[in-house]
Structure 1
Amino acid sequence: MIGTVEKRVRIGTSGWSYPRGEGRWNGIFYPAKPKNELELYSQVFNAVEVNSTFYRLLDPQTARTWVMMTPKDFAFAIKLWQKFTHPGMFKKATGAEPEVTQADYDDFKRGINPIAEECKLACLLIQFSEWFACTPQHQGILSMLLRQFQDYPVAVELRHASWGEKASETKALLDSCGAGLAYIDMPELPGTIRQELEPQRLLYLRFHGRNREKWRTHEAAEERYDYLYSEEELKPFAEKVRGITAAGESKILIFFNNHVRGQAPANALMMARQIGLPPTATVRAEFVKAFPATKDAIKEIHIPEEKEAGQGVLFSA
C-alpha cells in the first residue's frame, strides 16, 4: 500500500517563497536568511504549485534554473496567467486591456516548456474566481482554454456553485479535452461550489483553509488563508485518498494554500503521514516547535550549530 501511495501521490504547497510580513516562512520553515528557498523546499516535498505564473509570464531561463536546482523526480504544477482567467484583475494590475491573442498563449507555453521538456510538469492549473458562473459565455472561455492547452495535463478550479449544479455539463466539457476538475476545500459560503471527492484520472486537491470570517472581508489578502487544519479535519481526506489509490490509477496532486506562517508545509506533512507516506523530511527545530503535530511526519529534526546560524542552513547533510 505504501508503494502504491508513493507512486501516485504528490504533496506540496502553493508557492514556496514567503519571506516577508506577518505570514513569512523565514525563521520558521526556512532559516531567517535562506540562500535558495526552492532548493531547500524541494528537499522536503516532491511537488510545488507555482503562483508567480498567475501574475506574470515565466521567463524560459528562470524555468530552466528551477529544473536544474530541483531533484529529478520533482514536479511543478503551473497556474495559468491571470490574463486568461481573470481579465479584470489583469487590467487593474497592469493598466492594459485584457484582450488575449495567440501570441499570449505562445509566450506562456514558451515559458513553461523547459519544465515540460524535462518531464517535470505535473499539470497546468486553470483557476477561476468564485464569481465565474456557469454561463454559455464562460463555458466558451473555458472550452477555448482547454483547446489551447490540450497538449498538457490540465486541472480546472471552478468555485461558483452553478458548475456543481450543472455537474454533467461540466464533466462533459472537461472530459472532452481530458482535463480534471480540481477539488477545493475552502469556507462554505453562499454561491460557492459543493463537491464530492471522487476518483478521476487527474485528481487535484487544493486546501485554501476555512477562515470564513476573513474570506471575503479582509485588509490584507493573506488574511483569508490564515488557517491551520487539525488532524481531525484532514483525516476524511486522507482516508479518501488512500481508498482512491488502492482502487484505481488516479494521479493525485495535493497542495496546501493556507500559507501564512508556514501552516501550509505543516499541513502538507501531516497529510502525507495520514495517507501513508513514510517520513523522509528533515526540518528545523523551530518548525516542529511551531507545529508539534508534524513530529510524527518527519524523519529528523535539525538543530544547527551556532556557527551555522547565519549561513542559510535548513537541513543536515
Structure 2
Amino acid sequence: MQLLQTLCQIAAPSGNEALLANFLLNYIHQQKSNWNASPTVLSGEEFQDCIILVFGKPRTAVFAHIDSIGFTVRYGRQLVRIGGPDVEAGYRLVGQDRVGAIDCRLVVDESTGALSHDFHREIERGTELTFYCDFRETESTVQSCYLDNRLGVWNALRLCETLQDGIIVFSCWEEHGGGSVAYLAKYIYEKYGVRQALISDITWVTEGVHPGKGVVISLRDSLIPRRSYIERIRRIAEDAGIPHQLEVEGSGGSDAKELQHGAQPWDWCFIGAPEDNVHTPNEIVDKRDVNSMLGLYQVLMREL
C-alpha cells in the first residue's frame, strides 16, 4: 500500500493535475523495465496533463482519472467547491500559494451554507485547497482522502506490471465535469482502432453493495452502457471465479460520460471497488475488494 499512500498524498484537484502527472511519468519510466511488456508512453502538450500507455496490440482501454475534488479560494476567506466534496466544519485543508504553505480548517456558515477557511492570513485567490491526507491502513481496510480515484490509478499501475496488450489512460477533470476523455478517446479510436473501455474508478457502498463482497460491475448509473458488452464482462468474471457484485444506480457518472456522448462507437463498463464515506477525508475500502478489482482487470484485459 506504499504506492497508494504516496498517490493519496499528492494534491491534484481538477484543473491542476500536473504534479501527479509528473509523478506518474517518473514512476512509469522507473518501473517499465520490470513490467512484462514495455509500453509506448504518450504525453506532452498534445495531451495536456493526461498520459496514454500503449501495450502490444491493444483491444481494450482502461480509463483512470487522476484528479480529485477540493476547493478554490475565492475572495477574502471564501471557498468554492471543486467537484462535489463533502463539507463538514472542521475538515483540515492544505495547499500552497506564492507566500507559502497553507494549513487551515473548513468553515461552514450554519445559516447560509457558505464555505470559507480560517487561515491566519488572506490566501491568494485561485489557490486550490485539498483535504489533508491521513492515510490509515489495517489488516482488512485502507482509509484516506482521495481513494476516489487514487485507488483506480493504483489499480491501473499495478495492471501495467502484467499487461501484454491494451491501453492505459490517465485522464483529467473527471470530478468537475470532464473534458479530457473526449479528445483522448478520439485519438485512441483513430490511431489504434480501439473502441471498448473499462473505467477504473471507485463506486459507493449502498444498501445493495457491501464492503468485502467483491469488486463492483456497474450495470448502470446516470447512463446506461450497451447490455451485450456488460454481459460479456459478467460471463468472464463468473468463469474466472472472481468475487464481484452488481450495481444499479440512477445517478452518478464517470469518464464513461464522454465516451458515450462522443462521436466514436465506444463500449464501456464501470468496474471498481466500493467505498464508504464518499468524498470525505475518511474514504474507506475493504482490501478484499481491492484485490478482486485488480484480479478482474487482469483477466478482462486478457479475455475481452
Larger % of helix: which? 1
Verify same fold: TM over 0.5. no
Report TM bin, short chain: under 0.3
